[in-house]
Amino acid sequence: MNDKTRYEIMKNRELLKGYHAEDASAEETDQQQKLPSIPCLQVKKEINTVKLPTDYESLPAAGNIIELISRRESRRNYADAPLSLLELSFLLWSTQGIRRFAGHKNPVTFRNVPSAGSRHTFETFLFVNRVEGLEKAIYHYLPEEHELELWDDSSDFDEELTNALCSQRFAASAPVLFVWASIPYRMEWRYGLKAAKYVLIDAGHVCENLYLACESIGCGTCAIGAYDQDRMDDLLGFMPGPSSDKGYICTVYAAPVGKKIT
Ligand SMILES: Cc1cc2nc3c(=O)[nH]c(=O)nc-3n(C[C@H](O)[C@H](O)[C@H](O)COP(=O)(O)O)c2cc1C
């Protein structure tokens, strides 16, 4: 290992600790300096949205939590059958659904997954191939309204998406691909340099809920960490980094979903 690699490894390990060692001289966080936060939710850009159904009780949910945990595994083969809109709605609710709001000056959301300081930095994007009632396109989840807005109506993303997923074609061709992007400033406002650690821990909660929710309705998923950062961010129309802008957004994690092959 050369010196440069050794130094980079050391820096990344510090990130695991929330930059503990280098933090001593860090300035106060923006919250400590009493600066305003940014909104805890993105403003919708579309007027025409797809309302998501919420009668989850009508889904044939199978198994108790012990069974679901025991059965959970990464699944990379999916049936050709499309997902129903109700199934997709249930998975979105399980991973990012909002239960309530708190706070007046700097509101935060409480959701079905935990988040450090309830900062919830993620925006969910969907590459939809086969979901009943949805055209093939890229969508953005609006958790407050529990709706989908069209993010990009282009349906010829197959090749670019496969490339962005480092040739993992099973993920690009799944009925739907969840992509979670983070707006890190939501976390940095409170936690400064420690924010990156918390964002990454939070991502794990989201994806684990997806695994268990999928398992409960006869679907399968597989966490995807191997993707091309620039290509995926570009596909979603994000400004390329690095950046310290408050509105900066970047992909952090993904997961394809499809019905299990029985
Ligand atoms: C952070 C993370 C990144 C992963 N990235 C990929 C990936 O890019 N492609 C893939 O096929 N599996 C990926 N996986 C799935 C792992 O390979 C899988 O969890 C592991 O082999 C254990 O299998 P299990 O999930 O069935 O227990 C990832 C898992 C995690 C937690």
pLDDT at 26: 76
pLDDT of residue 24: 61
98 lines ligand 1 (CB under 6 A): no
pLDDT (0 to 100) of residue 45: 86
pLDDT for res 27: 84
**Using a 6 Å cutoff on CB, does residue 73 contact ligand 1?**
yes
Ligand 1 pocket check for 223: Cβ under 6 Å? yes
Residue 194 is predicted with a pLDDT of 93
Query: Considering only CA atoms, which of 93, 90, 238, 88 is closest in space to residue 177?
Result: 88
> According to the model, what pLDDT value does residue 18 have?
86
pLDDT of residue 19: 79
Average pLDDT per consecutive 10 residues, the chain (262 residues; last block may be shorter): 93 86 76 94 90 95 93 98 98 98 94 98 98 98 98 97 98 98 98 96 98 98 98 98 96 98 86
Rounded Cα–Cα distance for residues 139 and 33 (Å): 36
Tell me how far apart the alpha carbons of residues 105 and 96 are, in angstroms, rounded to a whole number.
Answer: 22
For tokens 């695994």, the residue is: 211
pLDDT value for 240: 95
Q: What is the pLDDT of residue 22?
A: 62
Which atom of ligand 1 sits closest to the CA of residue 170? 11
The CB of 69 under 6 Å from ligand 1? The reply is: no
- The protein residue with its alpha carbon nearest to ligand 1, atom 28, reads 223
Does residue 222's CB lie within 6 angstroms of at least one atom of ligand 1?
yes
Q: In the chain, what are the domains?
A: 3-259 (3.40.109.10)
Query: CA-to-CA distance for 179 and 92, rounded, in angstroms?
Result: 11
